[in-house]
Structure 1
Amino acid sequence: MKNTDQFIGKRVLVVGLAKSGVAAAGLLHRIGAAVVVNDAKSIEGNEEAAELQKQGIEVIGGGHPSDLLDRGFDFIVKNPGIPYTNPLIAQAVSANIPVWTEIELAGRISEASIIAITGSNGKTTTTTLLYHMLNIGKKKPLIAGNIGTVACTVAEEAEADEIMVLEASSFQLAGTESFKPHIAIFTNLYEAHLDYHGSLDEYLDAKLQVARNQTDEDYLIFNQDQEAVDRSISPMRSRKVPFTTLGKREEGISADREWIYWLGEPYIETKIIKLPGRHNLENILAAVAAAILSGCDKPSIENVLSSFTGVRHRMQYVREVHGRTIFNDSKATNTLATKSALSSFKNPIVLLAGGLERGHSFEELRPFMVNVRVVVAIGETAQRFAEFAAGCGVTETILADDMEEAVKAAYEASAENDVILLSPSCASWDQYPNFEIRGDRFIEEVMKL
């Protein structure tokens, strides 16, 4: 760790007893800060709270006392999911008390160089691709953030010859002040989390924190195909590395149907890539650019591109059964994600879709249903999705009660060379606790075929 002296004797309030809060509280206590932890829920029977108390950390539960900030805290570390409209956080902001998330701590103490990946979609796939490239290339990567271990926990043990590959959400980045990755990646921007940020401008502003503190010794890899991203990063001082899937460019990294180009020169043939879809090609370009800038050799990059078949539940290749190729995209909980999935294939598709009824329209999918031959609909939206599919010209629609029935029906309705795709376009909570369990059930049934 570096720069830990800055925290000695500091009075710190950690708000939220979730994983990041527990990690931040423990770290700050170990490096000499006077820490108080506060959570809205009761701490009775809470094992994490008890463990922090054993360490000598004061833990206050059951609400946010109105006089808590009278203790004169130097700064606050809040759980990323706690909005700034929370009365305690709003009170702190009004009082000019700095409000951080734990990745600010990670950036301040990490001996390792940091590569931070943000964007509306593709963060996890890009982070995973890059981690594997660096790992095979013997660059000693550490994975952290949304995808893995809490960043400040990783930073506490990180050494100078390692690289922290950090997936960073807008919630995390909004709570940063001096955070400065050596390489930043901005995958794309779509409307998301507006209930948290209040507006698209505020959401974008949070994302841009990934690069605001960079200098001309740092790199910003960004999506040149999105005008909003291209325009918004222009004030940044970092060296800009654009990526585009719209053909060869002389700067940054680009791709056409045959090649990935680095600085305008052919670098890797696209035919070796296993991961389908244009959206995944964007993720690949961003990861390859970061790997090159990190000194990774081309054979290591090619090794990953020729073998990586997707992050679990995100356009994950499952298996091939009698000429049918099967993919698990359970993470597709909205139409935007399912649009990307459907546009990834030219073969006929047997689509498994449906889930929690939120009343949202499926109309955005209509232009992308052209290759869908069969729809197997599940969950609360099953009837509505089946009717929508029929209106799109899908020749066969099937209603299924559960995943076992859905997978069997999809396979029986499929033909050789079809793609069987779970891409629900809906949340899972009507039938499953989360999209991971939904995807696991899908895989279990596929493996029985």
Structure 2
Amino acid sequence: MKKITTFENKKVLVLGLAKSGIAAARLLDKLGAIVTVNDSKAFDENPAAQTLLEEGIKVICGHHPLELLDEDFALMVKNPGIRYDNPMVVRALELKIPVITEVELAYLVSEAPIIGITGTNGKTTTTTLIAAILNADGQSAKLSGNIGFPASDVASEATPDDTLVMELSSFQLMGIETFKPKIAVITNLFSAHLDYHGSQEAYEAAKWRIQEHLTKENFLILNFNQEKCKALANQTKATIVPFSTHEKVDGAYEYDGKLYFKDEFIMNSADLSLLGEHNVENALAAIAVAKLQGAKNEAIISVLTAFAGVKHRLQYLGEINGHKVYNDSKATNILATQKALSGFDNTKLWLLAGGLDRGNGFDELADDIAGLKGMIVFGQTAPKLQNLAEKLGIPVFKSENVATALKEVLARTGNGDTILLSPANASWDQYKTFEERGDLFIQTFETLKNQ
């Protein structure tokens, strides 16, 4: 860790705990800052705050008192999930207190170079693939950021011989000031998080901040399948490395069923372990980073042919009585389910879908589910999905939840059929998170498999 003195004897407010807040508070304390943590959760129900207090860090819990900001703070480190219209954040900005997120701290102390990955879809899969390839090549890559490992925790332990492979959300990128990765990746840009950002333009501007401090010595990997990403190539000082499944580009591309990097054959598309065109895109982005990092083709091939997927993201669980089963609980919107469906033969596929009703219809899913062997629907949107399936002549059955849906579909499938949980809906009608929904599905799979 770099021994910086930037925060010595400076009063810093950490707003919001969770993993990133805890990591930021501890790092700042180690760097000599006078740290105050403010979290909305009551102290007696807040084990993290209790632990930090035991470590000598001041904590204020249960509410966000605006008068706290009268204490002449030099900096606020904000939990990424806290919006900028939060009264504490608004007041801090009015007082000219800089507001950053924890990834900026990570950059300031990291001795290791950073590969930063952002985008609407595919971030986690691409991040995981990149780290796996670099490690297979004998390099030391460490996952960090939005993927579940607080960036400042990982950065404080990293050495110059390591590489931080960091997943970055738009929320995190809004709170950077000097953050500069060696290589940046934007997987794609679709509509997302408009409730937080207010507009698609603001959301995309937040993502675009990943390249804000890059120079021609740095690389920006862009998805040239998207015209909006291709247009952005002229708006950065970084060296562009494109990837595409539609055309030959001066980077990573798919042509005639083969994957290339700058016209060097890497492997056949059919040998990828992950299904769907979106995963070909993810693989190409990972190949681009790996080749820029000097990884050997053998390492790339070994990972891309064996990778089983990230948990809850088109994760292959295995077989039950000749039925292949996939868990894509992360598919919390129609677009994610459309991408998942693109990798399967509908005539042998049963789709399990449903969840929170946000008021939208599902007509745009019609072309993607046409010809399905069958559907099991559940949750608040079950009636809407059932109606669509019946219009398309798809056999459809209602079930209570993902566990009962798996049991019911197994009773109806033929040998050689595939079962895909890809809900196309958020989970909050029945589950706290998509992870909880997916974990129940996995647990049910394991139980049924061992019967």
Q: Aligned partner of 1:51: which letter?
A: T
- State the secondary structure of the residue aligned to 1:112: coil
Q: Aligned partner of 1:101: which letter?
A: T
Cα distance in 2 for partners of 1:48, 1:442 equals 30
Residues 7 and 32, structure 2, Cα contact 8 Å, conserved in 1: yes
Q: In the alignment, what sits opposite 2:145?
A: 145
Cα distance in 2 for partners of 1:372, 1:257 equals 27
In structure 2, runs of 5+ residues without a counterpart are none
Residue 173 of structure 1 and its aligned partner are, at CA, apart by 0.5
- Over the matched positions of the two proteins, sequence identity in percent amounts to 46
Residues 144 and 164, structure 1, Cα contact 8 Å, conserved in 2: yes
Q: Aligned partner of 1:350: which letter?
A: W
Deviations along 1:168-189, one digit per CA (max 9) or x if unpaired, are 0000010001000101110001
Distance 1:274 1:9, change over 3 A: same
Task: Give the TM-score, by structure 1 length.
Answer: 0.96
- State the secondary structure of the residue aligned to 2:303: helix
Worse-matched range after superposition: 196-205 or 314-323: 314-323
Q: In the alignment, what sits opposite 1:172?
A: 172
Cα distance in 2 for partners of 1:2, 1:236 equals 28
Worse-matched range after superposition: 114-123 or 257-266: 257-266
Task: Please show how residues 305-320 of structure 1 align to structure 2 within 5 Å.
Answer: 305-320=304-319
Q: In the alignment, what sits opposite 1:121?
A: 121
Q: In the alignment, what sits opposite 1:397?
A: 396
Cα distance in 2 for partners of 1:253, 1:440 equals 35
Task: Please show how residues 204-223 of structure 1 align to structure 2 within 5 Å.
Answer: 204-223=204-223
Q: Aligned partner of 2:287: which letter?
A: V
Residues 374 and 413, structure 1, Cα contact 8 Å, conserved in 2: no
Q: Aligned partner of 2:341: which letter?
A: L
Task: Please show how residues 27-426 of structure 1 align to structure 2 within 5 Å.
Answer: 27-249=27-249, 251-348=250-347, 349-394=349-394, 396-426=395-425
Q: Aligned partner of 1:292: which letter?
A: K
Q: Say if 2:434 is the partner of 1:435.
A: yes
Cα distance in 1 for partners of 2:429, 2:86 equals 28
Residues 346 and 371, structure 1, Cα contact 8 Å, conserved in 2: no
CA RMSD of aligned residues (A): 1.5
- State the secondary structure of the residue aligned to 1:314: coil
Q: In the alignment, what sits opposite 1:8?
A: 8
- State the secondary structure of the residue aligned to 1:154: helix
Cα distance in 2 for partners of 1:99, 1:429 equals 31
- State the secondary structure of the residue aligned to 2:44: coil
Residues 346 and 370, structure 2, Cα contact 8 Å, conserved in 1: no
Task: Give the TM-score, by structure 2 length.
Answer: 0.96
Distance 1:27 1:271, change over 3 A: same
Q: Aligned partner of 1:236: which letter?
A: T
Residue 413 of structure 1 and its aligned partner are, at CA, apart by 2.4
Q: In the alignment, what sits opposite 2:445?
A: 446
Residue 367 of structure 1 and its aligned partner are, at CA, apart by 1.2
- State the secondary structure of the residue aligned to 1:4: coil
- State the secondary structure of the residue aligned to 1:191: coil
- State the secondary structure of the residue aligned to 1:106: helix
Cα distance in 2 for partners of 1:187, 1:241 equals 12
- State the secondary structure of the residue aligned to 2:400: coil
Residue 234 of structure 1 and its aligned partner are, at CA, apart by 2.1
Residues 350 and 420, structure 1, Cα contact 8 Å, conserved in 2: yes
Q: Aligned partner of 2:378: which letter?
A: I
Residue 3 of structure 1 and its aligned partner are, at CA, apart by 4.8
